[in-house]
C-alpha cells in the first residue's frame, strides 16, 4: 500500500540558508501534519493542514512556513536556518474516514 512520501531524505544546509521539504500524503488523505524531532527528543508538532487550509499550529518558528497544494501535497519552507533546526522532520497524513495518522520516513536536515 502507498505510504507517506517525503523528499529529500537527507539535506545539509549552511546557517542562514533556506530549505524546503516536501510531503506527499497517502492517496485520498486530506490532512497533513508536520512534526520536528530533534536529537533524543520526542516529535514536536509544527503545523497541520486540512483541505489545503491551515488547521492547527504548534511550535513552528516564524522563520518557517508551510502550505498544502491542490494535489494535497505539502511543503515546509525554512528560512534563516539555525544550527538548532537540525532535526528529523516528519510528515504525516490522515484520511477523512479514520483517526489514525500515518508517518513518512522523515527528512533529515543538518545545518552546519
User: In terms of CB distance, is 11 or 88 closer to other proteins?
Assistant: 88
Residue 105 makes CB contacts below 8 A (sequence gap 6+) with: 4, 6, 9
User: In terms of CB distance, is 78 or 104 closer to other proteins?
Assistant: 104
CB of 16 to other proteins, least distance (A): 26
- Report how far Cα 79 is from the mean position of its chain's Cα atoms: 14
What residues line the site for other proteins (CB under 8 A)? 31, 33, 42-43, 45, 48, 50, 55-56, 58, 88, 90, 92, 94, 99-106
Instruction: Give the CB-side neighbour count of residue 15, counting CA atoms within 13 A.
Output: 4
Amino acid at each position: 500500500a502507498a505510504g507517506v512520501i517525503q523528499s529529500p531524505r537527507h539535506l545539509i544546509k549552511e546557517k542562514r540558508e533556506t530549505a524546503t521539504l516536501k510531503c506527499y500524503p497517502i492517496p485520498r488523505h486530506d490532512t497533513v501534519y508536520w512534526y520536528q524531532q530533534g536529537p533524543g527528543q520526542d516529535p514536536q508538532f509544527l503545523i497541520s493542514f486540512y483541505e489545503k487550509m491551515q488547521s492547527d499550529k504548534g511550535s513552528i518558528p516564524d522563520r518557517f512556513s508551510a502550505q498544502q497544494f491542490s494535489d494535497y501535497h505539502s511543503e515546509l519552507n525554512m528560512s534563516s536556518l539555525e544550527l538548532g533546526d537540525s532535526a528529523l522532520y516528519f510528515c504525516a497524513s490522515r484520511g477523512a474516514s479514520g483517526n489514525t495518522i500515518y508517518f513518512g520516513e522523515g527528512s533529515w536536515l543538518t545545518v552546519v
